[in-house]
Homo-oligomer: A and B are copies of this chain.
Amino acid sequence: MATIKELAAYTGLSPSTVSIVLGGKAEERGIPQATCQRVLEAARVLGYRPNLSARRLRDPQASGGLVIAVFWAQDFRAPMMVRFLRGLRRAVAEQGEGYELLIHPYTCGRLREERSLVSLSAFNAAIICNASAEDLEWLEQARLMMPVVLYNRESPSYCGVTVDDEEIGALAAQQFAAHRCRRAAVLSADSVFYGMQLRNDSFVKTCRQLGIAVGPVIQRENSMAGGCGAVSALLENSQARPDCVFCASDALALGALRGLHQQGISLPEALKIISVGNGDREAQQYAWPSLSVVSVPMEEMAQECFRLLLRLIAGEIRPPFGRRMEVRYLPGESCPPVE
């Protein structure tokens, strides 16, 4: 990478002059066109690219801000990222700017390969989302110097923001019980995330406590395709068809909705659905029928991640320090309110 010094040597000018031209201040400094041409030409030929760190170091305005990296696992569903970023933006706005958000995609299970988490010179702090069990394991032993907050994960040595996973499953089961459902099914996702297991287990356990039998527990790819394809498996056993289904994600539930339409099953009469609400709220509400969900407050969780990170940086808290957010049941037509 060419530097200004090299451009100066190449053109026979001084670094000052080169810098002035490159900064677009040639005119106000009365530097003739010809000199500009020489500099610009040299920049092109030598492939000059300004070093941003050096520029920023000189500029108190640009130098001060906190750079916060958001590690987002690539394979996670897109609407979740949207909601997360929305919450983060709110949190940033609340603090009055001066923060830079760096989106850093990574691959689940390969967080250890992200050297930037160790280097200390890539960003000031990080929010790590969707870490897998392996990733968490690495984090434990790595003991990063960098301030880190985990989104939706718990750890003995880091700060984290979580939800009550067991409550999610329990709330759904309670709703079904209120409707006097008799037989429940679970539509879950292939997952690297232990929280999902907790939700399912809690749903099943609560069903049993409330006298609801639990029929098939099905695992599919976490997508609408997965949810749609699962419908036949769900209804396979015609003796013991479920009258209610707990879905691990919006995507699965929306896919299932389509599958059920195709089969001519009418909701909520023949079957009730409650999903974990981790997708776009509007898509839940304008589905046909609209989805009943136990909503994961992702925006608030993101906001809280940011707040925790700031307090961590300020030394006001020390890891581990967790915050657990409330979940809420939002009824829709797929499991209407009981009057």
A residues at B contact (CB < 8 Å)? 1, 23-24, 43-44, 47, 49-59, 61-64, 66-67, 74, 78-79, 81-82, 85-86, 89, 100-103, 105, 115-116, 119-124, 145, 223-225, 227-228, 251, 254-255, 257-258, 261, 280, 282-283, 285-288, 313-315
Given contacts A258-B286, A288-B257, contact A49 B313 (CB under 8 A): yes
Cα–Cα distance between A52 and B55 once the two chains are bound (Å): 12
Chain A interface main SS type: helix
Given contacts A103-B103, A224-B286, A282-B223, contact A55 B120 (CB under 8 A): yes
Cα–Cα distance between A286 and B279 once the two chains are bound (Å): 15
* Copies of this chain per assembly: 2
Task: Check A53–B50 contact: CB distance below 8 A.
Answer: no
Task: Check A258–B287 contact: CB distance below 8 A.
Answer: yes
Give the residue among A1, A255, A280 with the most B Cβ atoms within 10 A: A280
Task: Check B258–A288 contact: CB distance below 8 A.
Answer: yes
Q: Which 4 A-B pairs have the closest CB atoms?
A: A53-B56, A55-B121, A224-B286, A78-B82
8 Å CB contact of A78 from B1, B44, B261, B280: B280
A53-B57, A61-B115, A85-B103 given; 4 more Cβ-contact pairs under 8 Å: A52-B124, A59-B119, A79-B82, A224-B283
